[in-house]
Chain A
Amino acid sequence: MAEAPPCKERPCRDEEEEEEEEEPASPAVGLSLCGSAPLVWHAADVRAVRALGLVGALVGSLPRQPRQNGRLGRPLLLGREEERLLAESHQAAHLTPAQQGGGEEAHRQQVEQYEEAQRRSYEEQSVLALQDRKGALLRAMSGQDRGEAPPDGTSDEALSGRLRALDQSFSFPRSALAVQLSTARAGLACCPETRRFLRASRPIRSQDDGPRAEARYRVFRDLRGRGFYLTSAGKFGGDFLVYPGDPLRFHAHFIAVCVSLDEAVSLLDVLAVARLGSNVKKTVLLCSPAAGASDDQPDVVYTSLQWSGMV
């Protein structure tokens, strides 16, 4: 991180070089806005975000076990800095909200398609259910055979009789039909062509925030550029938690607190945050974006605080 012009068009080259090598034509990550919050819905997009070294926060219930908070599921909520980094490196695009376009006719077609798909699903599932039942019957009968070892002929006859009876009597109850409750909306946004188009047009939401948000973003960009993974650190009284590797496998090492270089900080505040950091076995990093960053000056100045015991 030598050169760091504070201009907006800085494309965060470390990112692009690193990731583009693996996936040269990776399509843009699709973001959908819920209110003002950028959410990532498609599993492939969530993976792509992580591959770029951004963590985000899962905020939905986990389909496998919805009534717990330990592991959450899609959607992935991106932080302001994460969204901005993606946007500035042209790796994300906002997907348009659900459009009711297409008119009556298109809608009627969609409904027909949906109903047709449901019918087909019912038919296929009832065939599968029948096969399933037959398989179970066969297994049960062969198990019996082994135990009693009766003459072959009678066993086969009995079996085929049972199977015929099953064929005739079997009906798949509609209530047993397995249906999908889709997480992400299916639609145009799924097509690779659309994705490529989105990448080309790359609409970026302008983020007009104060100097504080700007400072946070510069710190975020710099730390990410150095290969760290970052999450929010409100619970630790800081701006970011800094992980040396993927948070799935590693503990955070630092609590990053963004303070501007010319800002007076109360000694008590410094003590409080340092004490808190030592209590959770993390080092506090005071991160200050440099005023006029040039080639021989770092973009962000870091000061680490650690509680030291005198013996």
Chain B
Amino acid sequence: MAADMADQNKTAAEANVYSEVLSPSELFAARSRSHKIPVRGQKDFFPNESEQQRQRLEQSLTEHWSLISEERVERLGNLVRGLWIPSDQTVELQSPAGKFWQTMGFSANGKQCLLPEEALYLMECGNLQVFHDDLPLSIQDGYERFLSSQTVTLQQYQVFGHLKRLGYVVNRFDPSSVQSAYERQLNLPPSRDRAGRQLKRKRTPSPGPSPASTSSKAEAREESASGRMEEDKLSLEGEEEADKADCPVDPPARPEASQAQMDTTDSAGGGPVRKWWTGDVPPEPGHEPDPLPTAASPRWDFCSISFPDLGSRESRHSSLASPDSSLLPGDLSVGVCDIAPWLGKLNLRKVHMSAREKDREHDRRRRQWDVNKDKQVRRCRNWAEYRELQARRRQRDRPPHLWESEVTPLHDPKQPISTKELQDKISVIKSSRLQDDASRLKSSDEWRICFNVYQPDTVADFKKSNPGKPYSRMCVCSFDGPVPDLHAVKLLASQSGDVPVVCAVVDHGDISFYTFKDFQLPTDVYD
């Protein structure tokens, strides 16, 4: 390549193997070059100095070098032109963006911009030509100018490029965009004020089922009071009403039920209120919602707010008192709410149990300890005698050398207890979940999440303004660095919320992906 272009170059200095500038005729010829990658043949096991092996190696190397030395040549019409703005560390587009705009870039001050890693990736793909001081930047310029510890490091870019080449949608991770577990549970709209960069258009409020919609505070105020009450009640059901769980409460997910309720309330917004509980964020199965709010989020003191208990059979009211006015937005008043029609829709049918279930229930009752079955206890005429009896028994059953010292047995074998409770009691070290107490951890500079990753098959419907829940989040680290300890893993997991965190470990040119998963030991206990 270098030899036949020598005559066309002007100066002698350029005519050497290091010049990789193509002549116009070479550029023209490059339009019809092949896009196939030569296949690599079967490798040999051991070099045996044979002529055949030498030839094959030579051929492989020749193919390799022709592939490696190839320069990017593109039609000017296919190139988007960009301008490197060092002060902002962004690339400003000067011609209309291409297809990539669906998943990359942002608008600022009416201009289309790209983040440096996005621009560099597009340069490498031959889609973008970036200028600085009226001169085009080479790929090398891009690596050296765009990549830094302030933007994205080379290692992070290696992971970014690797995932982008595989077709994933990759965005920078913004820690403030993640809702706390508590906020997710309440289905609160994420507040836009915290997000780092504003997106171009303000989204119009839509009744879409996504919790991540960019509804502002004003929009939230438009939600009807009944909607809000319902939302609070339902999401707290798990916590507040867990002990009254035997009351069968049908969540008003059936359309006719919620419709009936809407008719009876003066819904201020009038719009489809149902979006609060249509529940595209179902509570995590298997465990109660994490009641730990992060430091920033408590807005209401739920100890002092009473919640309407519609399911309870003891207190059957036909109407709900109006909520405390201090809990409502200033311009809203809510009257007494008639819930009779809705209660009429409640499923009050008795639970039919099979013979086996009845047996089990009977068994359970039988095992339950009833103090009145004890003859000696029944003989007691007053509390004093009962206490005396208990003291006597303690003396007899509990040898003082075991029970009177500071350390006592975990369980008194005379006391009946179910196997499960006993197991709970003797498991001195309790199992914990990855997210437990994680919100209290101090953040570290060493471990942070770099990218949100969305799966390639979502590209067609991907919206930058409303990307939805990522498939995973990437933390970039290296084999030279330490393995994340429990503190780091917990911290990353809490930063990411309910999206799995994957560690992309960069080893020189190789990238391996590892992930830590929360795991509960299954308990198999017969009651």
Contact = CB atoms under 8 A, between A and B. Distances in A.
A244 B45 CA distance: 9
Given A98-B141, A248-B64, A180 B22 contact: yes
B402 to A, nearest CB: 41
B13 A190 contact: yes
B60 A57 contact: no
Contacts of B183: none
A53 interface: no
Given A67-B165, A180-B72, A181-B123, A75 B143 contact: yes
Interface of A: 32, 34-35, 37, 39, 41-47, 50, 56-75, 77, 79, 97-98, 107, 110-111, 114, 120-121, 124-125, 128-129, 173-186, 189-193, 195, 231-232, 234-235, 244-246, 248-251, 253
B136 interface: yes
Interface string B49-85: 0000100110011001101111111111111000000
Contact of B126 (A63, A79, A110): A63
A79 B129 CA distance: 30
Given A74-B68, A235-B510, A66 B126 contact: yes
Contact of B76 (A174, A184, A231): A174
A61 B30 CA distance: 18
A180 B14 CA distance: 17
A70 B166 CA distance: 10
A73 B68 contact: yes
Interface string B29-59: 0110011110010011111000001001100
A65 B35 contact: yes
B179 interface: no
B73 A180 contact: yes
Interface string B7-25: 0000001101111111011
B138 interface: yes
B20 A184 contact: yes
Nearest to B17: A44
B133 to A, nearest CB: 6
Given A249-B56, A251-B45, A176 B75 contact: yes
A70 to B, nearest CB: 7
Can you list the 4 inter-chain pairs with the closest CB atoms, starting with the nearest? A57-B509, A175-B77, A234-B507, A43-B69
Contacts of A192: 16, 18
A180 B27 contact: yes
B509 A72 contact: yes
A61 B143 CA distance: 12
Interface in B133-177: 133-136, 138-141, 143-145, 147-149, 153-154, 158, 161-162, 165-167
Interface of B: 13-14, 16-22, 24-25, 27-28, 30-31, 34-37, 40, 43-47, 53, 56-57, 60-61, 64-65, 67-79, 121, 123-126, 129, 133-136, 138-141, 143-145, 147-149, 153-154, 158, 161-162, 165-167, 479, 505, 507-510, 512
A43 B68 contact: yes
A181 B140 contact: no
A42 B77 contact: no
A21 B311 CA distance: 92
B71 A248 contact: no
Given A107-B133, A175-B76, A185 B140 contact: yes
A125 B19 contact: no
B8 to A, nearest CB: 9
B153 to A, nearest CB: 6
A165 B40 CA distance: 49
- Which interface residue of B45, B74, B79, B508 has the most chain A CB atoms within 10 A? B508
A191 B149 contact: no
Q: Which of A110, A129, A175, A179 has the most chain B CB within a 10 Å cutoff?
A: A179
Nearest to B56: A249
A183 B20 contact: yes
Contacts of A184: 20, 138-140
Nearest to B64: A248
Interface-centre pick from A97, A234, A251 (highest chain B CB count, 10 A): A234
8 contacts: A63-B72, A69-B166, A179-B74, A181-B71, A181-B123, A182-B21, A182-B139, A232-B507
Contacts of A75: 139-140, 143
Contact of B509 (A58, A107, A128): A58
B515 to A, nearest CB: 16
B73 A178 contact: yes
A125 B24 CA distance: 6
A40 B496 CA distance: 37
A125 B28 contact: yes
A69 B162 contact: yes
Nearest to A69: B165
B221 to A, nearest CB: 46
B144 A97 contact: yes
Contact of B65 (A32, A43, A64): A43
A5 B16 CA distance: 39
A65 B72 CA distance: 10
A183 B120 CA distance: 12
Nearest to B47: A245
Given A66-B165, A251-B45, A177 B76 contact: yes
Contacts of B56: 249
A244 B129 CA distance: 42
Contacts of B44: 245, 249-250
B68 A58 contact: yes
B75 A177 contact: yes
A107 B133 CA distance: 8
Contacts of B75: 175-179
Contact of A124 (B25, B35, B69): B25
Given A64-B36, A184-B20, 14 more contacts: A32-B144, A61-B165, A71-B67, A73-B67, A97-B144, A111-B133, A175-B76, A175-B78, A179-B75, A186-B138, A190-B13, A190-B19, A191-B18, A245-B44
